[in-house]
Amino acid sequence: MSRIGKLPIEIPSGVTITVDSDVITVKGTKGELTVPHLSDVTVAVEDGVAKVTRNDDERIAKAQHGLQRALLNNAVVGVTAGFEKKLEVNGVGYRVATSNNELDMSLGFSHPVKYKAPAGVNITNEKMTITVTGIDKQQVGQVAAEIRSLKKPEPYKGKGIKYADEVVLRKAGKAGK
């Protein structure tokens, strides 16, 4: 039995889950998300709890059991609380500004770097910290990864864009005589 898949999902008040044959719709206070309904698992919603069970013990059913539960749980958390990723910009002369959900950054290149956030994701900044928020966990993580890839942190001085909880391993540099 999947350790993740067998856990029930508590449905908070104000959240409705609609199960169809091909998609599962989760509606909450922050918005609406759809999750694909995987073929080898069954989702049952009763008494404020959603349970995911697999149809048989085939290899693909075992793989989809935990995945379906995780996707559904992330949708429930997203429509109630939302998700957030924080990025830090480190470097002399690096600047960040936001306007209309668009980042305008000076990252040491000969040109300014602009990044437009997709629909459903909000980008804000305070000094040198960029905050990416939204209801879809995958989309928030993808946007944060794309922003980070604009100027990855380098190991000698630590300049670049890194996640707030990321630790950049520093190298010693040149050894003097």
Q: What is the CATH number of the domain that holds 120?
A: 3.90.930.12
Could you tell me if 30 and 71 lie in one domain?
Answer: yes
CA 175, CA 21: separation in Å to the nearest integer? 64
pLDDT at 1 over 70: no
The answer to whether position 168 is within a domain reads no
Q: Is 163 helix (H, G, I), strand (E, B) or coil?
A: strand
Domain with 72 in it: 9-80
- Prediction pTM value: 0.86
The amino acid present at 169, given as its one-letter code, is L
Residue 69 tokens, joined: 């539960």
Which residues, 6+ apart, have CB-to-CB distance to 38 below 8 Å? 64, 67, 68
- In this structure, the number of other CB atoms found within 10 A of the CB of residue 118 comes to 12
The answer to whether position 2 is within a domain reads no
| Helices 59-80 and 137-149, axial angle in degrees (round to 10) | 80
Q: 54 pairs with which residues across the strands?
A: 41
Number of domains composing the chain: 2
Over residues 67-102, the pLDDT tens digits come to 999 999 999 999 999 999 999 999 888 999 998 889
Could you tell me if 102 and 157 lie in one domain?
Answer: yes
DSSP class of residue 14 equals T
Mean pLDDT of 144-157: 91
Which residues, 6+ apart, have CB-to-CB distance to 4 below 8 Å? 65, 66, 69, 70
Could you tell me if 63 and 101 lie in one domain?
Answer: no
Enumerate the H helices of the chain as residue ranges.
Answer: 59-80, 137-149
The answer to whether position 176 is within a domain reads no
**8 A C-beta contact, residue 38 and residue 64:** yes
Mean pLDDT of 57-70: 90
The amino acid present at 101, given as its one-letter code, is N
Identify the band that residue 6 occupies on the pLDDT scale cut at 50, 70 and 90: confident
Question: Which helix H or strand E contains 132, and what residues bound it?
Answer: strand 129-134
Share of the chain above pLDDT 90, in %: 50
Could you tell me if 57 and 91 lie in one domain?
Answer: no
pLDDT of residue 121: 93
CA 84, CA 99: separation in Å to the nearest integer? 19
Q: 25 pairs with which residues across the strands?
A: 18, 34
Could you tell me if 53 and 67 lie in one domain?
Answer: yes
